[in-house]
Structure formats: C-alpha cells, structure tokens
Amino acid sequence: MKPAKTTSVEQLQLISRFESVRRLLLSAQYAQHLEKPLAYWALPTDRRMPLALLGRTLSDLLNTPFSDLIATPGIGQKKIRSFIALLARVANSDPTELPIELAPLRENGKTAISAGLPSNGFDPAGVSEVVWSQWRACVIRHGLGKEVLGRFAPSLQNMTRVIWNSPLESYTGLSLSEIRSMKTHGEKRVQAILEVFHGVHTLMSCVGRMDHLTVRILPRRIDKVDTWTNRMLQTPGIPSNQDLYDHFVAPLVEQVRVDATHQVSSLAENRLGILGPITSVRQAARTMGLTRARVYQLLNEINDIMSVRWPMGRHLVYELRDKFELEAAEMVRAPDLSQFLAAVELFYPGSRRGAAGPLEFVRDASDDREEEDGVAWPAETEAVASV
C-alpha cells in the first residue's frame, strides 16, 4: 500500500504543477507561443524527452486534459515530468516577463530537464529554436544585420572562409532547422554561425536603446589600433618607434595570431622584423621551405583577415602613412619608419601580392630570376609609392 500512496502523492504534485503552468501559458502574454510545437523549446542535450508530444502545438497540449496526456502511448511518469519541465521552460523563455518561480522537478537528485544554457561559455548543443530566435531578434533590434560574420567571430580559424563576408542578415530570417538543411552548411559551419550570434547577444542583450548614443562593436585588438590611429591623425608629430610597435604593429600581429595558422603568423613576424631583421620574401621562402608563390599566398591571407576584421583600416592606415611621411620629410633628422611602413604593406598591400599593381616597383639587382623547385618565379619586388 505504501508505494501506491507515494505514487498518488507524486501524481497530485504533477497535476498541480501542470495546472499552474497551464494557467500561466494560457494568459495573453504567451499568445504568440501557442501555435508553435513543443519541440521549439527542446534542447539537443535534453534527456527522456516526451517524443510523442513534441510535434503537437502548445495550444493543443494545454487544452488537453492531464489524464489524456499521461495516457498517451509512450508517455510514462518520467516522460510526463520532462513534459512539464518543458512547459516551465516555455514560461521562462518570454523575455518581456519575469521568470516564474517554479522549483525544478528532480529525479534521483538531478533535474529532469535542463532549464537553460550553460552559465559560462558557448555550448552549441544548448541552442534551441527559441534561444536562436532571441539571438536573431537581438541582431535585428540593434541594426547589425549588415555586419559580416567574420568581423565578430572569436577566431577566423574556426570559420569557413566562404562565409567570412556573409552578412548576419543572411541568417536572421531562418530557423535553426532551415539553416541545417542548407547545402554546404554542415555542423562546423552552423556552429561558427551560432557562436557569432551568441557573442553579439551576450554583449548587446543588456544594452538599452538611447536616441543620442550608439554602441560600436569591434574586435578588442582592432578597437585599440583604430582608436590610436584616429588619435594620431589629429596629433602633430611622429610617435616613437616603441609607440608605433605597441599601439599599431603588436596588436595587429596578435590579431593575425588569433585568426591564422602558426605558419602565417610566423611569416608576419619575420616580415616585420619582430624577432630579428626584416626578411624579404625570398629569405622567408628559404627559411620556411616554401616557394615564393606560396609565401605570396600566405601574405594575401593576412590582407584577407584585415579586410574582414578592420575594413576601414586601409583608408585610415594609408592616411596615417602619408601624414608621417610628409612630417618626416620636413625634419632634419627623420625617425626610422621602416617597421611601420613594412606593417602597412603587410596588412594592407597596395596590390595583390605577386601581381602587378598601381604602385611602382623597384627590383633588387640580387633578386633576379632563379630556379626554385624546378620552377622559375619572378624576382621579388619591393613596393614604393610613386612620387
């Protein structure tokens, strides 16, 4: 008789909890949710899901007597617990309302179903359709749809190159299931997209709207360089070599380390003379055991990264270069700008490396054509601005 009594008490608790959540979800503020299927609020990490109920709309489920729900084939005591916990998640998902105070159902000391995302970090397995809809709404609300995915990615190494320049608005009108059904959108690409939207939402969710203020989002290192560059454009004189390195060269090299392979970042360091003298493309090719054609490809990757991370950088950097060169020409003892100028050419080259461009090129006599790996490659050229 004792087990039957316990079962009866648990049954009453489940009925009471169901009726409490049911009354709340049938109120006016949740009307927009009623025609969505219960699966809309399910997470990939949830266990003991009431599969027989997931395809039914919230309206249908809330208007079905509890006795009929628990009598559904495949729905036992554990599944009905998970079902009620899912309803509680629906009640907690409306961002315009305060979360309802409902203690989680427990089973052997553990919650029957998780009530949300992990508190720290990004977990792609914890993104449901309702969470995704909140992230999309945040991007739209703050007018960030025109921004490209690559600009906000934690690292471009984790994102397929073909979507670096895809605007966020390409995905704001799609559900998660629609994105996953797109050709070429495997789990790695979908995860990279979700990670960008998660970062934007995390940063902007607590930002209110002010008519006289706006918020600009930039990669942290790029923001440092952008702020310093704009300040230098308004400040007479040329900063010291140490200042040029600390506020311009070093942050951009660090951004390359984040976004590119070790091979590419090492090439950047060699070309800027960070660990020794500035090396030519020929020297870099010999040191790295590559052809010069391959070195040019790696150098072009650096420009691709900067074009995504700091699209306005090219204009600002060239304006700053012209300012420094003009001021240096008027000095009796001009400062050494070799590393800064090398950095300008590295991050924002005047033309695609390995191809002729609008700049004049001066060829080193010692850099005549030579055979590398059985193939003759054009001698390296160093770009200098036309006078």
With bands split at pLDDT 50, 70 and 90, how would you rate the model's confidence at 127?
confident
342 pLDDT more than 60: yes
d(CA 276, CA 270): 7
Q: Check whether residue 67 and residue 22 sit in a common domain.
A: yes
CA 150 to chain centre: 7
Residue 346 lies in a domain: yes
Which residue has tokens 């052997």?
A: 108
- What's the domain range around 146? 124-204
Highest mean pLDDT among 41-55, 64-78, 354-368: 64-78
281 pLDDT more than 50: yes
Give pLDDT, residue 341.
Answer: 96
Q: Check whether residue 23 and residue 56 sit in a common domain.
A: yes
Give pLDDT, residue 154.
Answer: 94
With bands split at pLDDT 50, 70 and 90, how would you rate the model's confidence at 7?
low
Q: Check whether residue 307 and residue 245 sit in a common domain.
A: yes
Residue 261 lies in a domain: yes
Comparing C-alpha atoms, which of 31, 37, 30 is closest to residue 175? 37
Q: Rounded mean pLDDT of 179-194?
A: 92
Give pLDDT, residue 284.
Answer: 92
Of the given ranges (31-40, 95-104, 208-217, 322-331), which has the lowest mean pLDDT?
95-104
**Domain's final residue, options 61, 89, 111:** 111
Q: Check whether residue 47 and residue 139 sit in a common domain.
A: no
Q: Check whether residue 13 and residue 52 sit in a common domain.
A: yes
Q: Check whether residue 138 and residue 252 sit in a common domain.
A: no
363 pLDDT more than 90: no
- CA distance to 10, 18, 105, 193, per residue, from 87 (Å): 18, 8, 12, 28
Strands (E), 150-272: none
**Domain's final residue, options 111, 145, 174:** 111
pTM recorded for the entire structure:
0.66
Domain count, the chain: 3
With bands split at pLDDT 50, 70 and 90, how would you rate the model's confidence at 220?
very high
